Structure 1
Amino acid sequence: MIPWQAPPLSRITIPQDTDSGSVVLSGFTLANLDYVIGYGTGPNTSTIAASVPIPPDTGSDNDSSAAPAPAGNSVTMSLASLTAEAVAVRYATLPGYLPSSYGNWIGIWPGQMSPYNPFKPLACADVASDANLGTVAMNGLSLGAGEIYTLVYFTGPAVPAPAGQAAPGCAEAWSAGGTPAPDTTLAAAMLVFQAASRANTP
């Protein structure tokens, strides 16, 4: 589990824009203890969206690095229910994570949207609970039958919190006229779906 309140032993900014690759973390010495590596969508520990454990060396001949990472090591989303007027999204973040405290939110866009080339969403909803698992609903929609939509989960507020204040909710951030522009680079999970394929299905 990520120790959410502790600073990392080391961190590195991903130096390339490819969707896969490798980096080297250095500048520290590992003892024979449990460690965990976190991948964040931003510079803060609160944006970590995936993790993989490094178990201690047991001295066995088995290659522990080949073992699969345990369940719950990345942010995921699925459709809990869907109608033309509303969508409910089931989300899962990492163990011990606090979605509401860290300003997490979910947005829905028409078509196959990229969070790195964003426009105003059809709707968005803040994650109101600090439980790392839950469901978020967006109502008042008008989804077209057979149309494609994109859901995106974000591990940080839509705009930074002003000094001494709480960050505004996603709806307020998008209605503020782009000052400051909402930040969609903290995207941790995406789900593209066709409205007609799951309509009225729980």
Structure 2
Amino acid sequence: MATQLLDRSVDTQLTTGLTIANVGGDTATYNFATMPGNLPKKYGNTVYIWQTPTSSVPRNAKPLNHNPVRVDQPDGSDVFSSLQIGNLPYLIAYAVGDSVSRVCSTAFIPASGKDFSYVSPGVSRVGIGSTSQTFQYQLPQGMLPGEDGDWAGLWEGQDTGVLYDKDVKPKRHLQVKSEKHTDQETFTDVVLERGTEYIIGYFKGGFSSSDPDRRGLACSVSWTQEA
């Protein structure tokens, strides 16, 4: 059976978001909204900032500063200070872990101090075969999924809570081996049953063939199988 394109309007997508709430002469206040069930403090979530001219994550450059997330609820805010807003450009990045390799969402502040731009992670279904499910992922430029140990899993059900629960094993999971910040991957040897709910979770880092790390959940897509 050939791969079929899908009606993605029936899908529910969730992501990790980062937005700029306010900028002053030397400060930048940001808001974050992460995945339901995330415990940012417990899981070591960290926000980084670089002084850099582009929105690509400068993963090999030392960050100007970083803020460990201090709350164990999915949403929150914090501030970076001692900046030169209006003179220099900055990139703020949210990591679902305690290393730059787990960055999944970014907010770019141009030197003008306005017209911010954002990139959030995303995963979406692309096509289905008789025993396969293809999906596309998106990350900020500069991220290297293969090197970072990214992975994705496929579960029955639409409750994002299962994505953090190590006792609920996925039907399939795979290592993302591409080094592109956006690309496609395919779950194979899997049959999706009509009328059944499914969810795909994309994780920044932590791949293991037997027991992958669930703490780096960046985004998800869920749906009810139609055919």
> Please, what TM-score do these two structures have when normalized by structure 2?
0.68
Task: Give the corresponding residue for 2:172.
Answer: 123
Task: Give the corresponding residue for 1:137.
Answer: 186
Give how far 1:113 is off.
Answer: 3.8
- In structure 2, relative to structure 1, the CA distance for the partners of 1:84 and 1:145 (3 Å cut) is farther
Are 1:75 and 2:121 an aligned pair? yes
State the SS of the aligned residue for 2:164: coil
**Partner Cα separation in structure 2 for residue 25 and residue 18 of structure 1:** 20
**Partner Cα separation in structure 1 for residue 179 and residue 84 of structure 2:** 32
Task: Give the corresponding residue for 2:210.
Answer: 173
- In structure 2, relative to structure 1, the CA distance for the partners of 1:126 and 1:184 (3 Å cut) is same
1:98 to 125, 134, 144: 144
Equivalence map 1:36-55=2 (5 Å) = 36-55=91-110
Structure 2 portions without partners, runs of 5+ = 1-55
**Which AA in structure 2 matches 1:173?**
S
**Which AA in structure 2 matches 1:116?**
Y
Give how far 1:85 is off.
Answer: 2.2
**Which AA in structure 2 matches 1:43?**
D
Task: Give the corresponding residue for 1:155.
Answer: 204
Are 1:110 and 2:156 an aligned pair? yes
Structure 1 portions without partners, runs of 5+ = 59-63, 159-169, 175-181
Contact 1:80 1:90 in 2 (8 A): yes
Task: Give the corresponding residue for 1:2.
Answer: 57
**Partner Cα separation in structure 1 for residue 116 and residue 79 of structure 2:** 20
2:224 to 182, 194, 202: 194
1:13 to 62, 68, 85: 68
Contact 1:85 1:141 in 2 (8 A): yes
Higher strand fraction (1 or 2)? 2
**Which AA in structure 1 matches 2:174?**
A
Contact 1:107 1:121 in 2 (8 A): yes
1:24 to 76, 79, 82: 79
Contact 1:84 1:144 in 2 (8 A): no
Contact 2:199 2:220 in 1 (8 A): yes
**Partner Cα separation in structure 2 for residue 84 and residue 19 of structure 1:** 37
Task: Give the corresponding residue for 1:162.
Answer: none
> Please, what TM-score do these two structures have when normalized by structure 1?
0.76
RMSD between aligned alpha carbons?
A: 1.8
Give how far 1:82 is off.
Answer: 2.0
**Partner Cα separation in structure 1 for residue 136 and residue 83 of structure 2:** 39
State the SS of the aligned residue for 1:24: strand
State the SS of the aligned residue for 2:88: coil
State the SS of the aligned residue for 1:56: coil
Are 1:33 and 2:79 an aligned pair? no
**Partner Cα separation in structure 1 for residue 110 and residue 83 of structure 2:** 15
Contact 1:84 1:145 in 2 (8 A): no
